[in-house]
Amino acid sequence: MTLPAARSLSEEITTGQGALLVPEEFQTTLIDNITDTIQGSGEPPCLLRAPTGSGKTFILSRVLGNVSTNHDVIWLWFVPYVTLLQQTLDALATNATELSGQLLSNGLNQQPSPGQVLLSTTSGVSRASWRKAGYDMGGGESARTPAEFIGLARSLGYEIGVIIDEAHIALDEATEFGHFIKWLAPSYLAMATATPKSQRINQFLSSAGKSSFESFGVSRSDVVKARLNKAYIEAVMYQLGQATHDVADLKVTVIKQAWRRNLLLQRQLDEIGIVMEPLLLVQVENGEGTIEAAEKILMHECGVSPHAIGKHSADAPDPVMMSAIANDTTKKVLIFKQSAGTGVDAPLGAVLATARLLWWVEFAG
């Protein structure tokens, strides 16, 4: 009997066994239209404009999979933050099993092959010193330069494609990054953003040697209809006069009221038979002791168990860590400092209480 070859733990975790998500109707339309356009005769850059929660990364991964079934393409995928790299690798492994995702720093030393997706931040390749050296700097016996890798890929007959995710942030280095894309001369180029910044995108395209782009969008109502986003947001701001300000503890009031609203949502979910505990998000000021102060209010004023409180203590948000806490079903509250922005996935989040401006917001729908 022949024993199967040993497999590493990382292979078991990151290798997708098949697409796990079924596209919504609007996602299917976008995937088909972007696929047709990006590999059409003119091959113009494509811009996907879609609200947060609409599945932009999922849509792009399926476009790459579709194009890669018809063409031998090596893809370079760029994100704004290092913390989004692993998240994107996981999404590719789950939703585009015909592709092979890896970090650009590792992939440059691999044999080029169709379907490779090499991930990097935009700042990782936006280097004037690289540009002045024709992107052929820093190589050696054990490391290829970008110029060596791309030259080898093209000598093997492979095309180059580029994806720019979260373009409204990723294009902060628009001009220098544009020089890199112009040098790369990709056959396929697509961007995705939730909040388009036309001037920045046009500046990037100009430096990349592109004069126009094809835009694809989806309305927020379609995303809400597919239950990928909430129908509306209810906001409440506390404003106190001087006399009341001197006697009221506004931070305690905000957190207590937010916790009561969270409990109300819990009761409403129980009444209609939905087994789910909403998550309270509590944003505090930067500085020492602010997380602990909010935790003390939750425990002493609201009766929340310390085991049900998750804390992200870093001043700068780590989307991967925050998402891990937000998706921990043992936690009823997540306390953090900076805004939970790009890359944070908190599907159970129902109420946000922020002491930074002393107001709170309920996400409802």
The pLDDT confidence band at residue 360, using thresholds 50, 70 and 90, is low
Beta bridge partners of 70: none
Residue 102 confidence (pLDDT) above 80: yes
248-271 residue pLDDT tens = 678 888 899 999 999 999 999 999
pLDDT at 213 over 60: yes
In angstroms, the CA 224 to CA 232 distance is 9
Segment 115-119 mean pLDDT: 95
User: Mean of the per-residue pLDDT values for the chain?
Assistant: 82
The pLDDT of residue 30 is: 94
In tens, the pLDDT along 288-311 reads 889 999 999 999 999 999 999 999
Between β-strands 188-193 and 159-164, what pairing exists: parallel, antiparallel or unpaired? Answer: parallel
Task: Return all residues near 308 (Cβ < 8 A) that are at least 6 apart.
Answer: 330, 331, 332, 333
Q: Write out the two tokens for 46.
A: 């494509």
Q: Is residue 35's pLDDT more than 90? A: yes
Predicted confidence band of residue 246 (pLDDT cuts 50, 70, 90): low
Q: How far apart are alpha carbons 61 and 91 in whole angstroms?
A: 8
| Helix, strand or coil, per DSSP, at residue 350 | strand
Secondary structure (DSSP) of 132-185:
HTTT--S-BTTB--HHHHHHHHHHTT-EEEEEESSHHHHGGGHHHHHHHHHHH-
Q: What is the pTM of this model?
A: 0.74
Asked whether 326 and 279 are in contact (CB, 8 A), the reply is yes
What's the CA gap between 148 and 300, in Å, rounded?
62
pLDDT computed for residue 27 by the predictor: 93
Contact assessment for residue 170 and residue 80, using Cβ atoms and an 8 Å cutoff? yes
Residue 184 confidence (pLDDT) above 60: yes
The helix (H) or strand (E) run that includes residue 224 is: helix 220-225
